[in-house]
Chain A
């Protein structure tokens, strides 16, 4: 039975093979042995030895027989031959200062190439910090009274992995079936989680209170956890297979990091504003109250307003099967909120929820200045933004 040489048939697709010169020294690959074995056409050619005679009778060529080290990610010079990468660079309207090699590096996940010199771990770390800084400063200045849970949820909705996967897919980035040297560098390369395979643990969290009986409150999340209130895994870098959304998220963060490194902080801020903060989020739909009536009365007591009183603004069909009551919440003579419902209790609850949302969603304006605007040259003098004393505790 003859062995077929598939790499001969589709040689033009593998740009990595058409470049004989390799610029990477092999000693940089420390953790190569730890990687799970992957199916790779070029590596199968390398391990074939000379006892095989091919269909066309010719010998194995010099390059594949001598080099039995195959890199887990495409070489740097393949970035210039990839049309996908150039198209992505042009589509994102990036400056010429960001080279194609860096763009190729943003697409290599640590699970594909564990070498820190060739994967996007460092870029993603940097870009993630920049992105979460701009998102959180914008949220805090635009909605200064948001409760902490809503702030976490809003940050997750703007820069969480699910959103970043959407962003990466909108940029037209596709995933490679399996990472390897021969893959077009325009594909996102990571080791995919097989269907039905359980997520492997990342070695626990970095929190000091890891026991199950400790209460994981909101205040401790601010100190110990990440920008979404989720626990930070102890072993941040790992070459385990990971979900697609995490690979996309680290790719988008790495693009932000590379823009920051090559074009500066102003360009990175513009990039984040255009691609992340321009997305529309209904923050008013993130709220969930438990005891709105009591919370509103505590709020009025804290702020020195008169005790809130529910008053009937209008009603119809009180004795019918489907009555409608419109109830307003008044503090003194000022109306704080208004709600409609089929019973007086529900209408009052809705009115209190409305008043509380109106309190928490106070905004000084959509174009409020954020602290990072002071980095620009010739910026006006900083006026302090509104800082709220915190959410209502009841």
Chain B
């Protein structure tokens, strides 16, 4: 979106042409309604590798400027190559030139990256199991994970063998969630089903 398109309604308003005010609310101004405008719109600057500059080689050369596309899974990353593979040395030599390692990595998806820290000892795990056995109503997985500063997944692994039978709470939780889903209307239900379908497709990578 270039500045020309944004500027256009303002200029029209100032120039006092015969336009009603409702046309200013139109989301897309006309800009490809003539041959000349279309040509002008499509006249984009070529990539810098196509332009002749002082740095470009003097003799005949090949310009490699592929369109952007998702990378192929058949290109194994350097880290995944086994130690005896001959491509390892070749790629390691050219990787610095072709893909220089950025000094700053891109921002992580989650602000606090979850790393396993393995700080709990056997005594802590026994304490987790004791708390759950003694007061199962009070200590749910989330509270335990906050108390011991670990993931609730780890808590559930610890509690799977502690002897507490959680079938009743599981059933109650499922009934509660089913009740919530029953109150959904058609739009929310369809959006939820679409989301599940999209995740299935993502797992198959289609």
User: Which A residues have a C-beta under 8 Å from some C-beta of B?
Assistant: 284-285, 287-290, 292, 305, 307, 309-313, 327-328, 330-331, 333-342, 344, 346, 348-350, 353-355, 357-359, 361-364, 386
Pairs A–B under 8 Å by Cβ, sample size 12? A285-B206, A307-B115, A327-B109, A331-B79, A333-B101, A355-B77, A358-B73, A359-B76, A361-B74, A362-B76, A362-B82, A363-B74
Given contacts A327-B109, A333-B102, A344-B109, 7 further A-B contacts (CB under 8 A): A307-B116, A309-B108, A310-B109, A311-B108, A330-B105, A341-B198, A358-B75
Supposing A310-B109, A344-B109 touch, asked if A305 and B205 sit within 8 A by C-beta, the answer is no
Query: Chain A residues with Cβ under 8 A from B204's Cβ?
Result: 287-289
Cα-based distance from A26 to B31 in the complex (angstroms): 90
Interface residues of B in 102-126 (CB under 8 A from A): 102, 105-110, 113, 115-116
Query: Chain A residues with Cβ under 8 A from B74's Cβ?
Result: 284, 358, 361, 363
Considering only CB atoms, which chain A residue lies closest to B101 in the complex? Answer: A333
Interface residues of B in 81-100 (CB under 8 A from A): 81-82, 84-85
Min C-beta distance of A306 to chain B, whole Å: 10
By the criterion CB–CB under 8 Å, are B198 and A334 in contact? no
Query: Chain B residues with Cβ under 8 A from A338's Cβ?
Result: 70-71
Supposing A309-B113, A354-B73 touch, asked if A386 and B82 sit within 8 A by C-beta, the answer is yes
Cα-based distance from A289 to B90 in the complex (angstroms): 32
Q: Is B80 on the interface with A (CB-CB < 8 A)?
A: yes
Min C-beta distance of A381 to chain B, whole Å: 16
8 Å CB contact of B107 from A289, A307, A311, A359: A311
By the criterion CB–CB under 8 Å, are B106 and A311 in contact? yes
Q: Is B6 on the interface with A (CB-CB < 8 A)?
A: no
Residue of B75, B77, B85 with most chain A CB atoms under a 10 A cut-off: B77
- Nearest 9 CB-CB pairings of A with B: A357-B73, A311-B106, A310-B109, A353-B205, A334-B79, A349-B202, A362-B76, A350-B202, A289-B203
Query: Chain B residues with Cβ under 8 A from A339's Cβ?
Result: 70, 202
Main SS at interface, chain B: loop
Q: Is B199 on the interface with A (CB-CB < 8 A)?
A: yes
User: Which B residues have a C-beta under 8 Å from some C-beta of A?
Assistant: 70-71, 73-82, 84-85, 101-102, 105-110, 113, 115-116, 198-199, 202-206
Supposing A338-B71, A362-B76 touch, asked if A354 and B108 sit within 8 A by C-beta, the answer is no
Cα-based distance from A334 to B102 in the complex (angstroms): 10
Cα-based distance from A288 to B206 in the complex (angstroms): 10
By the criterion CB–CB under 8 Å, are A358 and B109 in contact? no
Query: Chain B residues with Cβ under 8 A from A333's Cβ?
Result: 101-102, 105
Considering only CB atoms, which chain A residue lies closest to B153 in the complex? Answer: A294
Min C-beta distance of B155 to chain A, whole Å: 16
By the criterion CB–CB under 8 Å, are B78 and A334 in contact? yes
Query: Chain A residues with Cβ under 8 A from B75's Cβ?
Result: 358
Supposing A309-B113, A310-B110, A349-B203 touch, asked if A361 and B79 sit within 8 A by C-beta, the answer is no
8 Å CB contact of B73 from A328, A334, A361: A361
Query: Chain B residues with Cβ under 8 A from A285's Cβ?
Result: 206
By the criterion CB–CB under 8 Å, are A348 and B109 in contact? yes
